[in-house]
Amino acid sequence: MSVMDEVGVVHLVRACNGVEPLRRFLDSYVRYPAGLPHELLFILKGFRRGVVPPEIAMLLDRVPHRTIAVADRGFDIEPYRAAALQLRQQYVCFFNSFSEILAEDWLEKLHRHAAGPGVGIAGATGSWESLLSTYESSCRERQTMLPHKRVLRGMELRRLRDAFPPFPNPHLRTNAFCIRRDLFIEAVGNLKIRDKMAAHRFESGRDGLSGRILSKGLSLLVVGRDGAGFTAEQWPQSLTFRFGKQENLLVADNRTRHYEMSGEGEKSLLRSHAWGMLAQ
């Protein structure tokens, strides 16, 4: 099997996002060589009858590609599954609609680590954040509230405790990652993601993508701009997500850009959510 047969690259294009996110991705895709031959597949999400407006079509025509059209539901994971079922490569590298490549040989770096022994998935960013622990912290900061509000908070906490591990909760973020295609299809199964909480559960919950990979005895790696692979305990020092100046980040997205543009007070809060006391 040739390397061309082995790697597929998938980028999500959402109709509701307009032109600029796609332009940003394509500018970076053209600027930075992938380092590996590959097939490029665009998921056209939410375009009526799969027909894109001329300004989108002109951008897509900048590079060799093929497309699939999906309805505007299921957040990112269901369209990713649809793309994986269309492809025949052994590995697939997924990029969400806000992704921007920041360095050359990005695909070689992600694929090399994803294909390493004992590795289940390699991504551009990871976090230790727990939505449960973040919510508990916010509850402690709001001790004075009406009785019915306390009941609602208690119900929400029970729901979150069932769904999410407490901090630290290492998980790879699904903005940019490379994984064996059959492993991804197996991990996703016939999952239906109909709301934001379900999407959070799949990204960082007990039975989410990272949890399912770990349950198979496989590891999660973050891959930096420098081409190094980092295990979960090394993620804060990898300087890829909400730490330092994120100077080793391989693929940016709206969350990494938000951190970069935030003031010091908000940066400190975001760091503490992601890394706890290490952020101090």
Indicate if the pLDDT at residue 260 is higher than 70. yes
- Among 262, 108, 121, 31, CA closest to 246: 262
Give the pLDDT band (50/70/90) at residue 248. very high
- Among 105, 86, 131, CA closest to 37: 105
- Identify the structural domains of the chain with CATH numbers, from first to last: 3-129+166-279 (3.90.550.10), 131-163 (no CATH)
User: What is the C-alpha separation between 50 and 73, in angstroms, rounded?
Assistant: 14
How do residues 63-105 score in pLDDT, each as one tens digit? 999 999 999 887 899 999 999 999 999 999 999 999 999 999 9
Indicate if the pLDDT at residue 114 is higher than 60. yes
How do residues 173-196 score in pLDDT, each as one tens digit? 999 999 999 999 999 988 788 888
Threshold 0.75, pTM exceeds: yes
Average pLDDT (8-18) is 97
Indicate if the pLDDT at residue 143 is higher than 70. no
Task: Output phi, psi for 94, to 5 deg.
Answer: -105, 140
Compute CA 235 distance to the chain's CA centroid, rounded to the nearest angstrom. Answer: 15
- Mean pLDDT of the chain, nearest integer: 91
- Among 179, 230, 188, CA closest to 209: 188
How do residues 221-233 score in pLDDT, each as one tens digit? 999 999 999 999 9
Q: Which residues contact 11 (CB under 8 A, 6 or more apart)?
A: 25, 29, 40, 41, 42, 43, 95, 97, 99
Number of H helices, E strands in the chain: 12, 12
Residue 194: burial class (beta carbons within 10 Å; 0-12, 13-18, 19+): exposed
Q: Give the pLDDT confidence score for residue 210 in this predicted structure.
A: 97
Alpha helices in the chain (DSSP H): 3-6, 20-31, 54-60, 77-86, 106-114, 131-140, 147-163, 181-188, 196-204, 209-215, 254-261, 264-275
Residue 214 region, left (φ>0) first, then alpha (ψ -120 to 50), else beta? alpha
